[in-house]
């Protein structure tokens, strides 16, 4: 048997898993202040949820999906992103009935069969939000402000992040622009790679995303959608920019920012960082998808959202010198002088835990010396030593592992004394 995790996946060991949980807790608290509620959708969906929503011609759908037939012969796909599922669930459960505004957030693993590299995995973890039913530019700005606040709250310095924004237009102005880009690709076909040439017939705007330097160069002179937006899209875009400016959120307009999914309309955005990530430097991004609900047979319903990647965000934090710690597992260690005191220690440990103190003890009949070593290794701030004589007097010894002070404490005062010591 091959006892290794599959290529492009990684075990999330306690340090990283603790950071993931911290990122989720931070998201829960912050997003709730903006009116978002949690949602959990299945990790797999009927394949058409993604083919319809994300678009057949996108890289995700055409190359990267984990699709298989289940035992009932249905085509099933592991979710490559969260938006399609959340919009499907919103429609299925009629959450947006009567024009109700819906604000949801999610967190969990996503799956894309990509070529693994630094910051690019086949299973990666995302936190995302969807704001459904709201068409006004104020919600675009609110979603972007919340994303930036989130990264700042985690500790990524504002100065090391770059917010890029663009407008992708809508059905009134984008089709003509797509045709224009397709024509531009055909006119420059000799200088463009095979893939970009193919894109002329499928998804021409994706040529802006090509990493090939010659293609980049050619595409840098292509017509820009910014100059071709219809009046409504232009007004929407201006309003979003004005609101961001009012909140002192620095942004750069990137007219070549075309995100890789077909469903985007109007506002799109991406947050990049300078340090620590190499070429996969986007830590989060999103946009508006005003036609997506209709793709699933629902009523016309505006919406937008973002997703941020856990692995890349963690790398950005590491590059900024920020350590995210999980919850402490042993603030206090209870050591016993000999194993005959097992039952008393068992009771004491439970009482401390019930009092809200993270407490660990020995279950391996270790010597007192190695119990102290273990306490050190776990980072315990205090060790409670239980000995037969002290116990007979209704007391224990508490050692402050920082100051090394030791004192006898009556059992009845122990939890209060420890809480004071832990601050
Ligand atoms: P996307 O859904 O492609 O807009 O991605 C949103 C965020 O998810 C990105 O900014 C990354 O942080 C993260 N992400 C996307 N694809 C991957 C991947 N293959 N591996 C790791 N993180 C990813």
| pTM attached to this predicted model | 0.92
Pocket test for ligand 1, best of 282, 315, 319 (most atoms within 8 A of CB): 282
The pLDDT of residue 210 is above 90: no
What pLDDT is attached to residue 260?
67
Kindly state if the Cβ of 114 falls inside 6 Å of ligand 1. Answer: yes
Pocket test for ligand 1, best of 87, 148, 289, 309 (most atoms within 8 A of CB): 309
Could you tell me the distance, in angstroms and rounded to a whole number, from the CA of residue 26 to the centre of ligand 1?
Answer: 19
Question: What is the CATH T-level fold of the domain 332-422, as seen in this structure?
Answer: Rossmann fold (3.40.50)
Give Cβ neighbours of residue 210 (< 8 Å, ≥ 6 apart).
192, 193, 195, 196, 216, 219
Give Cβ neighbours of residue 188 (< 8 Å, ≥ 6 apart).
218
Pocket test for ligand 1, best of 264, 307, 315 (most atoms within 8 A of CB): 307
In this structure, is the dihedral angle defined by the CA atoms of residues 288, 128, 33 and 299, taken in order, positive or negative? positive
pLDDT tens figures, 349-404: 999 999 999 999 999 999 999 999 999 999 999 999 999 999 999 999 999 999 99
List the one residue out of 388, 394, 399 whose CA is nearest residue 411. 394
User: Which atom of ligand 1 lies at the shortest distance from residue 284's CA?
Assistant: 10
List the one residue out of 279, 381, 272, 287 whose CA is nearest residue 333. 381
Residue 365 exposed, middle or buried by CB count within 10 Å (0-12, 13-18, 19+): exposed
Nearest CA to ligand 1 atom 4: 285
Kindly state if the Cβ of 80 falls inside 6 Å of ligand 1. Answer: no
Spell out the domain ranges in the chain. 14-173+246-319, 178-228, 332-422
What pLDDT is attached to residue 1?
81
User: Which atom of ligand 1 lies at the shortest distance from residue 259's CA?
Assistant: 4
Kindly state if the Cβ of 284 falls inside 6 Å of ligand 1. Answer: yes
Give Cβ neighbours of residue 194 (< 8 Å, ≥ 6 apart).
none
The pLDDT of residue 58 is above 70: yes
E strands, 281-420, in order:
282-288, 303-309, 332-336, 359-361, 382-386, 395-400, 406-410
List the strands of the sheet with 44-46, edge to edge: 44-46, 75-78, 67-69
Q: How many CB atoms lie within 10 A of CB 154?
A: 21
**What's the DSSP call for residue 324?**
P
List the one residue out of 177, 182, 163, 171 whose CA is nearest residue 268. 163
User: Which atom of ligand 1 lies at the shortest distance from residue 128's CA?
Assistant: 6
Q: What is the DSSP string of 289-315?
A: -TTHHHHTT-----EEEEEEEHHHHHH
**Furthest C-alpha separation in the chain:** 93
Could you tell me the distance, in angstroms and rounded to a whole number, from the CA of residue 309 to the centre of ligand 1?
Answer: 5
What pLDDT is attached to residue 12?
96
Kindly state if the Cβ of 254 falls inside 6 Å of ligand 1. Answer: no
pLDDT band at 57 (very low <50, low <70, confident <90, very high): confident
Question: What is the CATH T-level fold of the domain 14-173+246-319, as seen in this structure?
Answer: BirA Bifunctional Protein; domain 2 (3.30.930)
pLDDT tens figures, 235-267: 999 999 999 998 889 999 998 888 767 788 999
The Cα 201–Cα 68 span in angstroms is 28
Kindly state if the Cβ of 109 falls inside 6 Å of ligand 1. Answer: no
Nearest CA to ligand 1 atom 16: 120
pLDDT tens figures, 144-189: 999 999 999 999 999 999 999 999 999 999 999 999 999 999 999 9
**What's the DSSP call for residue 326?**
-
Give Cβ neighbours of residue 302 (< 8 Å, ≥ 6 apart).
132, 133, 134, 135, 288, 290
pLDDT band at 222 (very low <50, low <70, confident <90, very high): very high
3-state secondary structure of 330: coil
What pLDDT is attached to residue 211?
83
Q: Which of 48-57, 80-89, 289-298, 405-414 has the lowest mean pLDDT?
A: 48-57
For residues 342-364, one letter each, b for 16 or more C-beta atoms within 10 angstroms of the residue's C-beta and e for the rest, the string is eebbeebbeebeeeebbbbbbee
């Amino acid at each position: 048997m091959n006892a290794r995790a599959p290529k492009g996946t990684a075990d999330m060991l306690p340090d990283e898993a603790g950071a993931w949980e911290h990122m989720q807790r931070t998201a829960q608290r912050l997003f709730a202040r903006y009116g978002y509620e949690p949602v959990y959708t299945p990790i797999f969906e009927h394949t058409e949820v993604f083919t319809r929503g994300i678009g057949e011609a996108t890289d995700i759908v055409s190359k990267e999906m984990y699709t298989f037939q289940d035992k009932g012969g249905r085509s099933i796909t592991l979710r490559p992103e969260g938006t399609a599922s959340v919009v499907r669930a919103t429609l299925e459960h009629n959450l947006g009935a009567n024009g109700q505004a819906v604000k949801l957030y999610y967190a969990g693993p996503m799956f894309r069969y990509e070529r693994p590299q630094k910051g690019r995995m086949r299973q990666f973890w995302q936190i995302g939000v969807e704001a459904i039913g709201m068409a006004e530019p104020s919600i675009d700005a609110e979603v972007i402000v919340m994303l930036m606040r989130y990264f700042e709250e985690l500790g990524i310095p504002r100065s090391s992040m770059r917010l890029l924004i663009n407008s992708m237009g809508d059905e009134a102005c984008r089709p003509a622009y797509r045709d224009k880009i397709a024509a531009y690709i055909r006119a420059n076909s000799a200088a463009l790679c095979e893939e970009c040439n193919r894109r002329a017939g499928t998804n021409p705007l994706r040529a802006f995303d090509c990493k090939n330097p010659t293609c980049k160069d050619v595409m840098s002179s292509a017509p820009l959608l910014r100059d071709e937006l219809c009046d409504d899209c232009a007004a929407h875009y201006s309003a979003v920019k004005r609101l961001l400016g009012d909140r002192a959120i620095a942004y750069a307009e990137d007219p070549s920012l075309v995100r890789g999914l077909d469903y985007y309309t109007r506002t799109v955005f991406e947050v990049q960082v300078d340090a620590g990530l190499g070429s996969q430097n986007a830590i989060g991004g999103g946009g508006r998808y005003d036609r997506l609900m209709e793709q699933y047979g629902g009523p016309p319903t505006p919406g937008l959202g973002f997703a941020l990647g856990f692995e890349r965000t963690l790398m950005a934090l590491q590059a900024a010198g920020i350590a995210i710690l999980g919850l402490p597992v042993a603030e206090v260690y209870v050591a016993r002088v000999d194993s005959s005191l097992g039952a008393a220690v068992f009771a004491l440990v439970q009482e401390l835990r019930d009092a809200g103190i993270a407490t660990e003890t020995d279950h391996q009949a270790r010597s007192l010396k190695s119990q102290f070593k273990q306490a050190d290794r776990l980072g315990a701030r205090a060790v409670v030593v239980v000995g037969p004589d002290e116990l007979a007097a209704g007391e224990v010894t508490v050692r402050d592992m920082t100051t090394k002070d030791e004192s006898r404490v009556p059992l009845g005062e122990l939890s209060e004394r420890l809480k004071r010591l832990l601050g």
